[in-house]
Amino acid sequence: MPSTTLFQLPLFPLGTVLFPDGVLPLRIFEVRYLDMVRRCHQTGSPFGVVALTQGQEVRRPGELEAFHSVGTLATIDHLSQPQPGLLLVRCHGTTRFKVDRSEQLKHGLWVADATPLTRDAEVPVPPDLAPTAAALERLLETWQRQSLPAEDWPVTPPYRPTDCGWVANRWCELLPLPAQTKQRLMSLDNPLLRLELVTDLLANYQIKDPE
């Protein structure tokens, strides 16, 4: 496990779960995040995405906020400002982390001291789970045939369809799972187990190959 501690990591509590290598588009208009996102973009620094357990994405006066202790670092790939007070951001997830200590600053921004977690080991997809990986590859091929703009894809290269963790994470993002379920799957340190659970979920949702 990495020993480096991230001090005063800015946090972005959301109603969704970000996975490593996942794509996250954001509309930023709250004052507490505008300056933070600009600083991260200028310096190339990440911020932490954590899933809410209490409260809303847009803070309401007097409302309490709470969030899970395991989140994912987000790095900004693109930022634009279509109008004053609004930033459109596209990020990608990198490394998971665990919050060791957090505090909310006066203007509402959460910061934390956090420990990065070890990235998933590359585990080959076993034969019994190969259909789950193949179904994802067919979905990617469908998007290619439909000539969807790359920026509209919910999955970005490099593609690793033979890696358990990568395949599991992409299905976790694509399936209509409750945030609590996604959080549990993201927090698992075993990528093979995560893919096994995702395979069971695919069967429950009766996902069919795209035409």
In this prediction, residues 46-53 reach a mean pLDDT of 97
Among candidate residues 116, 138, 160, the one where a domain is terminated: 116
Q: How far apart are CA 184 and CA 180, in angstroms?
A: 6
pLDDT at residue 19 tops 60: yes
Residues 139, 109 share a domain: no
Residues 79, 140 share a domain: no
CATH of the domain at 182: 1.10.4060.10
pTM: 0.90
By the 10 Å C-beta count (0-12 exposed, 13-18 middle, 19+ buried), 71 is classed as: buried
pLDDT at residue 167 tops 90: yes
Residues 83, 147 share a domain: no
| DSSP state, residue 120 | P
Q: Band of the pLDDT at 107, cuts 50, 70, 90?
A: confident
Domains contained in the chain, number: 2
Residues 137, 96 share a domain: no
pLDDT at residue 157 tops 90: no
pLDDT of residue 64: 87
Residues 103, 12 share a domain: yes
Residue 18 lies in a domain: yes
Residues 18, 87 share a domain: yes
pLDDT tens-digit readout, 22-38: 999 999 999 999 999 99
Boundaries of domain holding 163: 127-205
